[in-house]
Amino acid sequence: MHMSDRIDRKSISIGTSKELEKENRQFWARTSAQDKFRTITFLRECFYGQEATTGRLQRVYTVFKRA
């Protein structure tokens, strides 16, 4: 499944949370690494903006004084 695919609103899946969790794990287990990476990139852009996926990760240094 690609992010460009549309959701089929005619089909509904109803089950217990355990069944849905199992189905979700099976889906991601059979999804290619490339599709997983695309999904992660898409979600990062949704939450943090496009600059989150075009730039480098920021390094953060924390200095603690020892007693």
Q: For residues 49 and 57, is the Cβ–Cβ distance under 8 A? A: no
Is 28 a domain residue?
A: yes
Does residue 35 fall inside a structural domain?
yes
Residue 38, domain member (yes or no): yes
Give residue 53's pLDDT.
72
Tell me whether residue 21 is in a domain.
yes
CA distances from residue 24 to 8, 28, 46 in whole angstroms, order as listed: 17, 6, 21
Please give the average per-residue pLDDT across 24-37, as a whole number.
94
pLDDT (tens digit, 9 = 90+) per residue, 35-56? Answer: 999 999 899 888 888 877 777 6
**Angle ∠(36,60,46) on CA atoms, nearest 5:** 35
pLDDT digits (tens, 9 = 90+) for 6-21: 777 777 777 899 998 9
- Residue whose token pair is 């007693």: 67
- Give the structural domain span for 27: 17-54
Domain count along the chain: 1
In a domain, 37, yes or no: yes
